């Protein structure tokens, strides 16, 4: 049955639908040897030969799931046109075509999930599931109680008011004029935690995501990765409303 090309790529675990639309627009997808640049184009994966960057679509590829403790200096994408290091460089033994679930910017470290399961990826990123993300931010200065309350209530950014966050002042060092703040959010805006802290007058010096969707970095060293356990995968699918 013919379906939109971006949906086919997403279901095959190639990329999220939004990322798939970008792949198509960049001319990296071909159907039966013809490059397609229109996202609304339809194809039948059971009959049509679909390739991405010249590689045939592997719709029946075994689904794999990894947790990575991302260090700074790596881009959270599967491909970078400028030749910068990507998170996939940290998983050289993985043969499957995997993609990160969401993104951490180049300067942010911490927990990042990667998979070729497009359905799970899209579900965990969908706003309706409100998947929790916990960050530890080292910021310049010491936020006041009023400033922290502003984050808890929601703060105005250039792209709108943020949802209420859970916030705790973890450490403060008056001599160095720095502090550590734990921030838990469920939105996924670009560089959101950094912008939230800037909005209350405290620039982020260092940022680490310590938890995502109930999973933590416990036992996984910086720059290392591991497969998710069956129990962890079951938990994620339950959060994403995916039935076994």
Which residue in 118, 123, 128 sits closest to 23, CA to CA? 118
pLDDT band at 50 (very low <50, low <70, confident <90, very high): confident
CA distance 39 to 9: 11
Give the pLDDT of residue 95. Answer: 87
CA distance 33 to 54: 9
Rounded mean pLDDT of 28-39?
A: 84
Give the pLDDT of residue 244. Answer: 59
Residues noted as catalytic: 105
Report pTM. Answer: 0.78
Q: Write down the mean pLDDT value for the chain.
A: 91
Contact (Cβ atoms closer than 8 angstroms) between residue 66 and residue 113: yes
pLDDT band at 73 (very low <50, low <70, confident <90, very high): very high
pLDDT tens-digit readout, 158-198: 999 999 999 999 999 999 999 999 999 999 999 999 999 99
Give the pLDDT of residue 11. Answer: 77
Kind of pairing between the strands at 65-70 and 225-227: antiparallel
Alpha carbon 143 to chain centroid distance? 28
CA distance 58 to 8: 11
Contact (Cβ atoms closer than 8 angstroms) between residue 52 and residue 28: yes
Could you count the other beta carbons within 10 Å of the beta carbon of residue 136?
A: 20
CA distance 65 to 3: 26
Give the pLDDT of residue 159. Answer: 95
Contact (Cβ atoms closer than 8 angstroms) between residue 30 and residue 76: no
Task: Check residues 14 and 138 and name the one with the higher pLDDT.
Answer: 138
The mean-pLDDT minimum among 54-68, 162-176, 212-226 falls in 54-68
């Amino acid at each position: 049955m013919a379906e939109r090309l971006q949906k086919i790529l997403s279901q095959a675990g190639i990329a999220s639908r939004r990322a798939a639309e970008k792949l198509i627009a960049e001319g990296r997808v071909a159907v039966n040897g013809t490059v397609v640049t229109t996202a609304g184009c339809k194809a039948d994966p059971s009959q049509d030969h679909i390739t991405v960057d010249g590689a045939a679509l592997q719709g029946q590829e075994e689904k794999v799931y990894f947790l990575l403790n991302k260090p700074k200096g790596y881009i959270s994408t599967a491909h970078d046109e400028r030749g910068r290091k990507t998170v996939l460089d940290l998983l050289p033994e993985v043969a499957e075509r995997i993609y990160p679930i969401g993104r951490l910017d180049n300067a942010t470290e911490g927990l990042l999930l990667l998979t070729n399961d497009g359905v799970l990826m899209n579900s965990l990123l969908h706003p309706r599931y409100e998947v929790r993300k916990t960050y530890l931010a080292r910021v310049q200065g010491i936020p006041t109680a009023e400033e922290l309350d502003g984050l808890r209530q929601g703060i105005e950014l250039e792209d709108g008011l943020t949802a209420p966050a859970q916030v705790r002042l973890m450490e403060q060092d008056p001599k160095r004029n720095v502090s550590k703040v734990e921030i838990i959010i469920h939105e996924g805006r670009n560089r959101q935690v950094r912008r939230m802290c800037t909005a209350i007058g405290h620039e982020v010096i260092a940022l680490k995501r310590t938890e995502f969707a109930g999973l933590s970095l416990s036992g996984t060293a910086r720059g290392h990765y591991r497969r998710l356990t069956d129990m962890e995968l079951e938990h994620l699918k339950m959060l994403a409303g995916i039935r076994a």
